[in-house]
Structure 1
Amino acid sequence: MNTDPPEEANAFWAQKSALEQRYQIILDRVTPHTKERWAFTGVVLIIYFIRVLYAQGWYIVTYALGIYLLNLFLAFLQPKIDPSLEMEMGTDASDEGPTLPMRSDEEFKPFVRRLPEFKFWHSATRSIVIAFVCTLFRVFDIPVFWPILLVYFCILFTITMKRQIRHMIKYRYIPFNLGKRSYGGKSSFK
């Protein structure tokens, strides 16, 4: 009895592996170009919005995309080790690395994001492309009254950002390098 997979399956996996390697090479090449990556994502997002506005549909897909991007943004703003979550769970992460300050005379250094900038960009760009592909199929064009979705998203965005800003003030951290002193090297947006 022959237990080897058919040649077609081997060819498929070899082709898949080659495509994954090419994709990884492209990602490795664009990694240092932060501004260009985000400009590309902005252009893709504008093209997506033009598509949705021109076609006057796919508002549920756009709402889901907005919620997903908001989720990514919040993970990007939050520290990897969050003391408010540790207090709720009753754990101590002092052995795991740097933590947020708990007293007024402490300062948090370094700020380690829960979602790194590159992963944020990659996930955001990929989700916008997936949403754009969804606009090519009528099955995803579910009829809804879009102003309600827009108002609900604005309320959700306001509430979550207000909560995040309060958290940032309470634990005294700034997730951006803007306005921070830099010693020696370039200031980067990490």
Structure 2
Amino acid sequence: MDEDLSNSGTKNKGAVSQAWTRLSQWYQGVVDRTVPWQKGRWLAAFFLILGFLARVVFAQGWYIVTYALGIYHLNLFIAFLTPKIDPAMDFDAEDNGPELPTRANEEFRPFIRRLPEFKFWYSVTRSTVIGFICTFFECFNIPVFWPILVMYFITLFCITMKRQIKHMIKYRYLPFTHGKPKYQGHEDQGKVIISK
């Protein structure tokens, strides 16, 4: 009798585990299919954030949730702007530190972000959905004087962006590809040259 109960418990755990695995695979497939549609993803995230802000404004509450979400999005944005290998932490003994190439004969080092664009979008979208869900629970509606939070956020944003811009100027990198010059090299003609 005890063996039958343990077998049925094991089967139920196996069925739940299998269902969870299938659901997570389906979800990952949906997320993976959105990779090529960068503009559409960001447009959807923008409307999601606007919907969240409209919910907060019309409900007149959940300012702490909004502040926490703003701080989290600011941290994600800074990670998006920062190179994966921070030049400030990678000093050589001979010079002041590594720099991006400035002449044509120097080694090409592409800008690799600490937080890739897709993960940035995914984290922004997921956190906004979580914040939106939090607005339906009264326990997260902590009464605060919201203008103070707005001032804190603006101050923090300005200080953080000033530090990031100084970092970009000091180590001479630009994290965006729009507007950068594109160099035309010699194209591979597919010819095979045999040296004697």
Q: In the alignment, does 2:77 pair up with 1:73?
A: yes
Deviations 1:128-164 (A, max 9, x none): 0000000010000000000000000000000000000
Which residue number corresponds to residue 134 of structure 1? 134
What is the CA distance between 1:115 and its match in structure 2? 0.2
Give distance in 2, aligned partners of 1:27 and 1:6. 31
Q: Report the AA paired with residue 11 of structure 1.
A: A
Deviations 1:52-72 (A, max 9, x none): 000000000000000000000
After TM superposition, the structure 1 = structure 2 runs for residues 106-145 of structure 1, keeping only pairs within 5 Å, are: 109-145=109-145
Higher CA-based Rg: 2
Q: In the alignment, does 2:56 pair up with 1:52?
A: yes
Q: In the alignment, does 2:15 pair up with 1:17?
A: no
Q: Report the AA paired with residue 101 of structure 1.
A: E
SS at match of 1:6: helix
Which residue number corresponds to residue 82 of structure 1? 86
Which residue number corresponds to residue 147 of structure 1? 147
What is the CA distance between 1:182 and its match in structure 2? 3.1
Which residue number corresponds to residue 174 of structure 2? 174
What stretches of structure 1 of length at least 5 have no aligned partner? 92-98, 185-190
Deviations 1:4-27 (A, max 9, x none): 652221111111111111111111
Q: How many residues align?
A: 175
Deviations 1:160-179 (A, max 9, x none): 00000000000000000011
Deviations 1:52-106 (A, max 9, x none): 000000000000000000000000000000121344xx99xxxxxxx95178766
Which residue number corresponds to residue 11 of structure 2? 7
- The CA RMSD measured in Å over matched residues stands at 2.4
The counterpart of 1:42, out of the listed 29, 36, 46, is 46
**Percent identical across equivalent pairs?**
54
What is the CA distance between 1:108 and its match in structure 2? 6.5
CA contact (8 A) 2:101 2:108 kept: no
What stretches of structure 2 of length at least 5 have no aligned partner? 185-196
Which residue number corresponds to residue 158 of structure 1? 158
Kindly report structure 1 stretches of 4+ aligned residues shifted beyond 3 Å: 1-5, 102-108
Give distance in 2, aligned partners of 1:112 and 1:9. 43
Give distance in 1, aligned partners of 2:89 and 2:63. 34
CA contact (8 A) 1:58 1:135 kept: yes
TM value normalised by structure 1: 0.84
